[in-house]
Structure 1
Amino acid sequence: MDKKHTVDKQVFGQRLKYLMTNFNETTYSMSRKFNLSPPSISRYTRGEMAPKITTIREMAAYFDVSPLWLMGRPGSMYEREVLDDTEPFGAEVTLSVFGSIKYQLPVFSNEKTIHTLTLPSDQLAKWGPVFAMEITDASMEPTLMKNDFVVVRLNTFLKSGDLTALHVGESDLKIRKVSFRKNQVILQPHNPAFEVEIYDLNKDNVQVIGSVVYQKRVFERFFECY
């Protein structure tokens, strides 16, 4: 095999497991998505074997990461290298911006807006897996204005004080400041016109998707157009 197509099985397995954890994917969901057997996915994550290059390309596209990074190469996970090209794409990465994030769909299967957001690749590498979305309501004003862009880092941990992206029940993704009281999570809007929401972590279906790590104001976007 060509040296630049060589896969480091151990590193590939570690990185695949990391992505699966952050995207809430299981061995079985991955096997369905990529038409592979569950035992094969398990062997990949244990570093015992690696898939074909075409499958690595498909996985990298799904997780929105560099295929070379997924293969075990050093460098940013968000550099958009092409497997047949030894030159890095550049110092910036352009993210698609999603609108409403539906409960029943994986994040990256939702409908994208016409907008994009460009950020330094080294900053994205520090954050890990992320996605960009447009704020669609006024619940967090003045902190997050309607039509602002935010970058959400994928994680499943609730931390008091964070601006957290989450589903409650089967609702579209919402962003709220979260705090805790015993077994309850309190979702605090910043706009007084919206009500505080309180849910029982043991009874209510609260699904954390991630936390906000970056914001771009709507007026900053407009200035860029002129």
Structure 2
Amino acid sequence: MKTNADDSEIRQVGDFFHSYAVDFDSIYGGRRNPVSRLIDRLFRKSMRLRFQRTLSDLSDPILQSILDVGCGSGRYAVELLKMDKEVTGIDLAPGMLAIAERACKGLFPADRYRFILGSYPDTVLGRRFDAALLIGFFDYVQDADAVIQGLKRDVERLFVASFPKASGVLALQRKIRYRLRNCPLYFYTEADIHELMDRTGVVNYRITDLGRDLYLRAELVSA
């Protein structure tokens, strides 16, 4: 059951990423200064690894319709559209969705993508998808169990997700930075993910350590 505290955290996350949209998108692009790019190369290797791993796992031609949960500025959506996938993205931040819309408009047929302003799994999508990705999403979610149950409702075949690791200097630094910005943040151990899968009845999955993140690929059995 969702509480007022849950609603408050959802608003905090949405407000944070709305204000942070342009700076966040530049992590994937080329508009950062040389010092920032050096830091990205040194400390954000896992972001590149999870980007590559995600696109590889979703490249199977049988996976045609993709749900991008926490789609942000649409960087994954663009690459999936290049693979001729159909993409539906959902995000809390209007600023992020505006960037995603601009990235896709005119480059891909309008009927191949859709971006929705809303929270997941609360938003009713009205259909099922072949696969889903949740990259950089569980970092900000209080009720991970509800999200997995939402995926079992909305997804036919598989989902991939990233979970920020609880240990390390980068995790500590990130905890402090996000606390100062009043944005909730959640970290995971591999045992936490195993327990989450056990509680939600997901049995066919694989966890890969990407350094800063734990990457999950999970198969779902259709109802």
Kindly name which structure, 1 or 2, has the bigger radius of gyration based on alpha carbons: 1
Same fold (TM over 0.5): no
TM-score (norm 2): 0.25
TM-score (norm 1): 0.25
Looking at secondary structure, tell me which structure has more helix per residue: 2
Looking at secondary structure, tell me which structure has more strand per residue: 1
The one of the two structures with greater contact order (alpha-carbon pairs below 8 A, sep at least 6) is 2
